[in-house]
Amino acid sequence: MRNKIGKRIKEIRLENKLSQYEFGKLLSVSQDTISLWETGKSLPSTEILILMAEHFKLSVDYILCLTEY
């Protein structure tokens, strides 16, 4: 499941034409943290998921791969 979520996070980042550094800066985390999420080695906190959902106008369910939209 972590790998699926990581792929979704990477997809969101790339769709918005952001580097890992820029994406991390937006969410107040490091580029290394973004890399860990995208590779499925770590997951974002609930607070970060909500921030990501609000910023990109997505549902947390979508980010967590619980829905396809």
- What is the reported pLDDT for 69? 74
Give yes or no for a contact between 6 and 38, defined as CB atoms under 8 angstroms apart. Answer: yes
Position 2 confidence tier, pLDDT thresholds 50, 70, 90? confident
Please choose, from the candidates 22, 25, 23, 32, the residue with its C-alpha nearest in 3D space to the C-alpha of residue 63. Answer: 23
Please compute the mean of the pLDDT values over residues 8-12 and round it to a whole number.
98
- What is the reported pLDDT for 38? 97
Please compute the mean of the pLDDT values over residues 2-16 and round it to a whole number.
96
Degrees, nearest 5: CA angle 43-62-20? 50
Please, what are the domains in the chain?
2-63 (1.10.260.40)
Please compute the mean of the pLDDT values over residues 14-24 and round it to a whole number.
98
- The pTM of the full predicted model, rounded to 2 decimals, is 0.92
Please choose, from the candidates 45, 39, 53, 50, the residue with its C-alpha nearest in 3D space to the C-alpha of residue 5. Answer: 39
